[in-house]
Amino acid sequence: MAEIAAQVMVVGGGPGGYVTAIRAGQLGLDVVLIEHGGPDGGLGGTCLNVGCIPSKAIIHAADAYDRAVEQSKSAPFGLKVERPVIDFARTVEWKDGIVGRLTSGVGALLKRHRVKIVQGHATMVDGKTCRVETDTGPQTIRADNVVLATGSMPTALPALPFGGRVISSTEALSLQAIPERLAVVGAGYIGLELGTAFAKLGAKVTVIEAEDRILPVYDAELARPVARRLQALGVEVLTQTRVVGLSDSGDAVRVERQGAAARSVVADLILVAAGRRARVTGFGLERLDLTMNGAFVAIDERCATSMRNVWAVGDLTGEPMLAHRAMAQGVVVAELIAGHRRVFDSAVIPAVCFTDPEIVTVGLSPEEARKAGHEVHLGVFPLQANGRALTLAAEDGFVRVVARADNHLILGVAAVGAGVSELAGAFALALEMGARLEDVGGTIHAHPTLGEAFHEASLRALGEALHS
């Protein structure tokens, strides 16, 4: 088979990879994208196939079912539902339909921008050459520029290797039935998003976390409303608890809790959500002279690796492992290859946790701002005083703004509450544009909306609060 030559070779078709390829194609570059398929599903990678998108579909279905169950018990605003039933197999079919539409859309966009897609397993030979095992035999691809976008994979625990009852988030999103009892190992965003969803769908959920509280990467103030909701849903949360392994019968996970006797948590399925690790093996990356940053490929502010014209984007390059970070990196790399002057600025990357209630963070927390040497003004506005939150019957939460005391430059914004994920763009824009408290306070916000809480929090930081 003849060799394929290109200006740009992208290894991996996830958010970072396919966005790099599309943008490079838009800029007139000759691009080849290699996608292996496999457990991550193909174009769109983990996020589209077995992560961000399908999980949000399941979360939405679980929310709808949970509300229907509540409305069958009481009618706080006059709506009464009789005996709701969920056909979970149809829910999964609906979720798969959404994924299929989006993956087809990615393929169409790549085709529109003249990106050649090679399906198969890629192995790097050197910094410009890749061998791909395709259905029709081996294919060699050479390119002037190589972009590594191999993504990440679920982290397995030595005490609970994947298989049988022990599943990752990938398998959890493809279940055809709701487990009666589900143990979730890890109280980070993946574990709590899926654990909460299955609790709403009727599973008896137990969350096991080694740290002393849930969502340890978020500050305790933001995690508190989520903990209250878990308790209301009947989710048992075991903190400061270490997993020992499976019981002899295999139907329970054995745990040891600090200050308590060892116990077993009986479960039909055990979801291990202990984080993700970069996919650095199995692609021949060891043949390249890549400087590593711990378990990740080291890059500079241009997403360049230690090898000339070899770039890396997305989860392969470390935290935060977020699809929108990978996409932004991909655009930067494509434009650099095309001769533009660009750097990747990681100062403003919003993070969203789709728990119940949702959490959004952008920039610095109050503690981080103070550790950075800033004196700060802090404004917190409770959703209990927000008209839109009350009409949504979702008043548990708040919006928090952190700004420098001297010039009122906003350093960070965070929120916890129902639907606050949709405020992430406004928060990020404020930081990106260098907004001050007066800028947000002087902007007319539509009423009644959740966004008014951002306005009010900024006013409160200025000592000019109107509604509190």
Non-local CB neighbours of 8 within 8 Å, separated by 6+ positions: 20, 21, 24, 29, 30, 31, 32, 143, 144, 145, 147, 334, 337
* Residue that the structure tokens 């390059």 belong to: 317
In the 3-class helix/strand/coil scheme, how is 353-408 assigned residue by residue? ECCCCEEEEEECCHHHHHHCCCCEEEEEEEHHHCHHHHHCCCCCCEEEEEEECCCC
Q: Give the C-alpha separation, 453 to 455, whole Å.
A: 5
Non-local CB neighbours of 104 within 8 Å, separated by 6+ positions: none
- Choosing from 60, 377, 445, 447, the catalytic residue is 447
Q: Is 121 a catalytic residue?
A: no
Q: Give the C-alpha separation, 47 to 64, whole Å.
A: 23
399 vs 7, 15, 116, 416, CA distance in Å? 47, 29, 45, 7
Helix, strand, coil share (%) of the chain residues, nearest 5: 35, 25, 40
Indicate the burial class of 123 (C-beta count within 10 angstroms; 0-12, 13-18, 19 or more).
middle
Non-local CB neighbours of 54 within 8 Å, separated by 6+ positions: 95, 96, 98, 99, 173
| β-pair type (269-272, 181-185) | parallel
Per DSSP, 304 falls in state: B
What is the set of active-site residues? 447
